[in-house]
Structure 1
Amino acid sequence: MAGKRRQFGRVRKLPSGRYQARYVGPDGLLRPAPDTFRTKRDADEWLADKQTEMRRGDWHDPDAGKVPFGVYAAAWVQERELTARTQQLYESLLHLHLEPTFGGVNVAEISPPFVRRRRADKLTADTGPTTVAKAYALLRAILATAVSDQMIRRNPCQIKGASTVHTPERSTASVQEVYDLADAIQPRYRALILMAGFLGLRWGELVGLHRRDLDLDHGAVRVRRAVAELNDGQREIKAPKSAAGKRTVSIPAAIVPDIRDHLARYAESGSDGRVFVGAKGATPRRNHFNRVWRKTCSQVGIKGLHFHDLRHTGNTLAASTGASTRELMARMGHSTARAALIYQHASADRDRLIADALSGLVDKGRRNRKGHAGDTAD
């Protein structure tokens, strides 16, 4: 009696004694298993899995991922609406850190062990951990899209925390040091130092300010744009990278007179006039300003302080006032709480204030308790 005819797929025994499994996919093409099987039962089980995938609508074209990663990644970058600066960063990470390793490998052939091994190789080759983290984050994002495109089933980037950039805690200037720097630097940059130190604005946000962005009568500055410097020396005027970046920041009254003086002496005229311009009338460039900055730091005896650390100073001071996480996020221009929480770390001075306040509550509570006990005794 003939055996029961198979309803899904075919299995045949090869001259080698191993078994080959094939089936017709949803696209009507004959699909062989990528490998042969030791037993007929193994081949049957593989076919059963494929049939289940098709019934669930979970079937993936096994040829879809047969695209070199380098080709897919280049298209991925071009298909996204990126700022020029971000596009340059991604292209650099691809060229220097991802394509040499993954460029010629098909997307479907990139496995978790392969990713782990290559990441470890990068770290042992003295590639900076920040660069490795950024490259890994880009790799994970590209392959996440490959999952959405049904080229692969799962993202092979599964290393927890590998895309997190761990930066050392930045230096913080004291209030007096901010004023020492402002007093010593070229007068046209005095207000720049004070606004960076006490408003927590970024370099690109500061040099992107126009007169119309300042409302000194109400003590506020509106952040609506930033100037980004590209690798080729060109500059891009862009909106903040998140909606939260567009914000209005209150100005401490103590520095309003300095800003008024700056506007009168150095800023361009008219509502559209730039607030900060160099001696020759151009928007200051970061590399040129850095030379002035380093010279000024040396004059006042401050070592290891970067201009961006002034933002850290402003945000730390804001946090020390007892501002909530939401308030700090609004002032800093962040859409997530992660950065704001960094500035809410406990300090000895702040902890002392908390302890003193608690002590007052304890003393008040004890007095009330003693008075209540006395009334009962009487």
Structure 2
Amino acid sequence: MANSRGNRRRFGSVRKLPSGRFQVRYPDPVTGLMRPGEETYPTKTDAEVALTLIEADIKRDQWTDPDAGKVIFGDFADEWLRDRKLEDTTRERYEGVLRLHIKPTFSARFLSEITPARVRTWRTRLLEGGVGEPTVVKAYQLLRSIMSTAVDDELIKRNPCRITGADTYDVPERPVLTIREVYALAAAIQPQWRALVLLTAFTTLRLGELAALRRRDVNLDARTLWVRRNQAELSNGKLITKAPKSRAGFRPVAFPDLIVPDLEQHLERHAAKGQDGLFFVGPRGGKLRRSNFRDDWTAAKAKAGVSSDVHFHDVRHTGNNLAAQNGASTRELMTRMGHSTTRAALIYQHMTSDRDRAIADRMGDAARRALFDDPAAGGSGASE
């Protein structure tokens, strides 16, 4: 009798099941009620070791309710998305990634069932199924963020998204156009888009920033424009005009005097009227959209003899390259592009307008030299 009392555990208990396996029971640290362990064990010793580990977790405040992870991933992901304050375009992108690439595999599973092995298998199948690596990376990043919240909510102990390098990919090098190619495109495209091509190359603004540009944002005398807003287009065709995402996006950008005659001509013939009128308008006087510009861009590439693989965004890439080649420092280049790092977001510094104008002047001089060497490349149109 004394021996049985002496061998009795002070925490929990172990019992043998009819199957011959052993099960642990222990007091729930929240309710105080006895609860069975989630697993069974082949020997009593194994069960006692497991019970000791559970007791240690409770004492170190590292115990997680095994039932907490029994939350359906699809429901949790929907709630996660609803609770986030996101830009409309970001929300739309997340919804698409969840619907197409994450929910088909994980929607009906409990959070606790999403293991590192299942995440690895899911990622491999996406890649083998022909989903592009950039899309797979975005899907992995989104899944990791959702599961990170599940950890914070103490629904699971660890994030199962632990694949080294799965959150990054090598961005393929985009083509860089020559100045002659830029001017060939500007000459080949519809006249109302000539200034769009040249401003993209010499200010490196995004298409959405150019689409939101107003007359009053462009000062031809100072050769400076102000980026104050950005236009985004959702997949349903809805247009949203919003402020830049960060302080880095709200910025002045200088341009060379080389393109001033083109901008003057554009203002006279193609821009909307009034100081608040849009600098660029669509074919029927409405807002510039990718859809009402795309066909003209494709036709211009063919007419100018430029590779069909060149995207309009590559004109911006070309301008960034030109600025870098003509003396722009890394910080100056990032400011001009409207990019920011973590540090820049905390300590943001505008470069001086004189320095920015000097960069623009050197870009213009380099363009002049390229055009002077080959006037047939569009040089005559540059001064019209």
Could you say which TM-score interval applies, normalised by the shorter chain? 0.7 to 0.9
Identity %: 51
Q: Summarize the alignment of residues 314-325 of structure 1 with structure 2, pairs less than 5 Å apart.
A: 314-325=319-330
State the Cα RMSD in Å.
1.7
Distance 1:56 1:284, change over 3 A: same
Matched-pair contact (CA < 8 Å) for 2:27–2:35: yes
Q: Summarize the alignment of residues 270-285 of structure 1 with structure 2, pairs less than 5 Å apart.
A: 270-285=274-289
Residue 191 of structure 1: aligned partner? 195
Q: Which of 112, 119, 131 is 1:115 aligned to? A: 119
In 1, the alpha carbon distance for the partners of 2:220 and 2:10 equals: 80
Structure 1 stretches (4+) deviating beyond 3 angstroms?
none
Displacement of 1:4: 4.2
Asked whether 1:256 is paired with 2:260, we answer yes
Which string of whole-angstrom CA distances, capped at 9 and with x for unpartnered residues, describes residues 216-246 of structure 1?
A: 3322222121111111111111223333222
Structure 2 portions without partners, runs of 5+: 343-384
In 1, the alpha carbon distance for the partners of 2:242 and 2:93 equals: 16
Matched-pair contact (CA < 8 Å) for 1:134–1:165: no
Q: Which of 84, 88, 106 is 2:88 aligned to? A: 84
Q: Secondary structure at the match of 1:36?
A: strand
Matched-pair contact (CA < 8 Å) for 2:203–2:319: yes
Moved more, 101-110 or 179-188: 179-188
Say how many residue pairs are matched.
337
In 2, the alpha carbon distance for the partners of 1:173 and 1:161 equals: 32
Q: Secondary structure at the match of 2:38?
A: coil
In 2, the alpha carbon distance for the partners of 1:256 and 1:276 equals: 16
Residue 213 of structure 1: aligned partner? 217
Asked whether 1:244 is paired with 2:273, we answer no
Displacement of 1:48: 2.2
Matched-pair contact (CA < 8 Å) for 2:248–2:335: yes
Matched-pair contact (CA < 8 Å) for 2:282–2:292: no
Residue 14 of structure 2: aligned partner? 11
In 1, the alpha carbon distance for the partners of 2:275 and 2:51 equals: 72
Residue 153 of structure 2: aligned partner? 149
Counterpart residue identity of residue 197, structure 2: I
Matched-pair contact (CA < 8 Å) for 2:283–2:292: no
Residue 33 of structure 1: aligned partner? 37
Q: Secondary structure at the match of 1:12?
A: strand
Q: Which of 101, 108, 127 is 1:104 aligned to? A: 108
In 1, the alpha carbon distance for the partners of 2:278 and 2:100 equals: 37
Q: Summarize the alignment of residues 129-144 of structure 1 with structure 2, pairs less than 5 Å apart.
A: 129-144=133-148
Distance 1:296 1:263, change over 3 A: same
Moved more, 7-16 or 294-303: 7-16
Q: Secondary structure at the match of 1:256?
A: helix
Which string of whole-angstrom CA distances, capped at 9 and with x for unpartnered residues, describes residues 66-98 of structure 1?
A: 111111111111111122222121111111111
Residue 74 of structure 2: aligned partner? 70
Which string of whole-angstrom CA distances, capped at 9 and with x for unpartnered residues, describes residues 204-227 of structure 1?
A: 111011122223332222212111
